[in-house]
Structures are given as structure tokens and as C-alpha cells.
Amino acid sequence: MPAHLRPEVCHANFAPLRQGRQIMARAPRKSRRTHAERRSATQAAILSASIKLLIEEGYAGFSASRVAARAGVSRGAQEHYFPKKIDLIGATMRYAMDEAVRHAQSLARTAARSPDPIEKFLADSEHFFFAPLYRALIEIMIAAHSDRALARIVNPIVQDARRSLNGIWADTLDAAGYPRDKARQFIELTHYMLRGLFLVSYWLPYQIDRSATIDAWRRLAPAILELGRHALPRRRPARPDDRLMV
């Protein structure tokens, strides 16, 4: 029998193939995502697409079908999680505000070790009020002003998030040695100012120097935080929720 057909030679020739199959059998298979992971990824894609559409097209150009197309999911898949447009808007608002709270928490942790916690607070506030995301939130709040059903959904979300955000920075400034009541007042004044800067940046026919304005406010901060302890009481103390806005 020719050497190349002898059994021991044939066996030797096929041994590497069997070894390869054994290696492949031992190799771990790529794990598939769980149902919870797929659901979370789908919801995140939908909410991210929702925010981008609000930023680019405004509330008037917002629709569930356009969100689904941007997210790359079917209408059926989207409606499984958010049956109505109002459900999608409410979930988008919560998603955005939760992100804002997480950002504040992260920055506040660094502020605890910083020699200038006021700077950290102002950086977080500027990040919130001048990110494109804030424009999306304004679109929702303007729509809610004339839509009572929408207002019933989004207003509690904003109030809860604003309590958390204000509380994070009140705690941080309090820990830095500033009077807590003055810290809360400074936080509110800062946010009123930044909301105004955001709005005028859209309707004024010229550019405003935002950095210079915030720098000037930063220099005034110590005086604002320390002054006013002996000021006359307000005629009508504002209720806590009166000042909670996006």
C-alpha cells in the first residue's frame, strides 16, 4: 500500500482537524444579552432619539413615529414601552432630569475636596442651563403651559429633580461652611440669572458675553452668601414649590 494511504499516515493527517474541533468546542460562546439588557438598551435609544428630535425640531416637530425612525426601532416596539406621545414626553423629561442629578452628584463629590466649591456649583449650573438638552426641556415646559394633561406629568418630575439638585448643592455649600439659608438663596438666584441668560441668548440680536457675566457673579458670590442675615423678613414667604422650576 502506498505510504500516503497507510492508516497511521491518514490518522496523522486528520489529527489537527480533530484538535481544532476540540478547541472550538472548549471556546466560550459569546453570551447573549438578557431580556432586561435588551429592554434597557431599546428604551435608552428611544429616549436619546426623543431628546435629539426636540433639540433639532422643537415640540412642534416632535412625533412618536419620527422618534421611532431615529431610534431604529419599530413603532410597535416603541409603543410597547411608551403607548402614547405623552408617555414618551414624560419619560424623556425624567431621563433628562435624572442625568442632570447624576452630573450634579458627581461634581459635588469633587467639590467636597475642592478649595472652591462655589466654582464647582457654577460649573454644574452652567452645564445644565446651556447644554442643548436644556433647550429640549424648555420646549416641553412651554408646551405644558397650555396642555394640562402634559403639565400633570412633567411638573412633578421637574419639582422632584429640582429639589434633589438644590439639595445636593445646599448640602455641599453648607459643608463648606456657608450658612445653609444663604446657600439656598444663592442657588436660587444663580439659577434665575442663568435661565435669563439662556433665554436672552436666543432673542437678542447680538452676542452676550456669558463667561464675563458668570465670572462677575462668581466674584459677588461670597458677599451674597454672607450678607442678608439681618434683612427684613419677606411679606409673604414663598412656599417651597413656588421656586421649583426647570
- Tell me how far apart the alpha carbons of residues 130 and 199 are, in angstroms, rounded to a whole number: 10
Q: What is the reported pLDDT for 202?
A: 85
pLDDT exceeds 80 at position 18 = no
Q: What is the pLDDT of residues 183-227, one digit of tens each?
A: 999 999 999 999 999 999 888 998 989 999 999 999 999 999 986
* Residue 36 predicted with pLDDT over 60: yes
pLDDT at 233 over 50: no
* Higher-confidence position of 236 and 70: 70
Do residues 189 and 145 make contact, with C-beta atoms less than 8 angstroms apart? Answer: no
Mean pLDDT, residues 112-136: 93
- Give whole-number Cα distances, 73 to 48, 59, 82, 173, 179, in Å: 12, 21, 13, 44, 51
Cα separation, 62 vs 56, in Å, equals 9
pLDDT at residue 242 in the model: 54
Whether 186 is in a domain gets the answer: yes
Q: How confident is the model at residue 112 (pLDDT cuts 50, 70, 90)?
A: confident
Count: domains in the chain: 2
pLDDT of residue 228: 45
Q: Report the candidate in 31, 217, 229 with the shortest Cα–Cα distance to residue 126.
A: 217
Domain boundary among 51, 83, 115: 83
Per-residue pLDDT tens digits for 38-64:
899 999 999 999 999 999 999 999 999
Residue 68 shares a structural domain with residue 118 = no
Are 109 and 164 part of one and the same domain?
yes
Looking at the structure, do residues 46 and 78 belong to the same domain, yes or no? Answer: yes
Q: What is the reported pLDDT for 33?
A: 77
Both 70 and 154 in one domain: the answer is: no
- Its domain, for residue 109, covers 86-246
The pLDDT of residue 230 is above 70:
no
The reported pLDDT for the residue numbered 113 is 86
Residue type for position 1? M
- pLDDT score of 12 more than 50: no
Which pTM was predicted?
0.78
Cell numbers representing residue 138 in the block: 424648555
Indicate whether 8 belongs to any domain.
Answer: no
125 inside domain:
yes
Tell me whether residue 16 is in a domain: no
Percent of the chain scored above 70 by pLDDT? 80
Query: Which percentage of the chain shows pLDDT scores above 90?
Result: 69
Does residue 238 register a pLDDT over 60? Answer: no
48 in a structural domain: yes
Give yes or no: residues 182 and 143 share one domain: yes
Looking up cell 437678542 gives 204
The band of 83, judged by pLDDT with boundaries at 50, 70 and 90, is: very high
Looking at the structure, do residues 203 and 117 belong to the same domain, yes or no?
A: yes
- The distance from CA 22 to its chain's CA centroid, rounded to whole angstroms, is 48
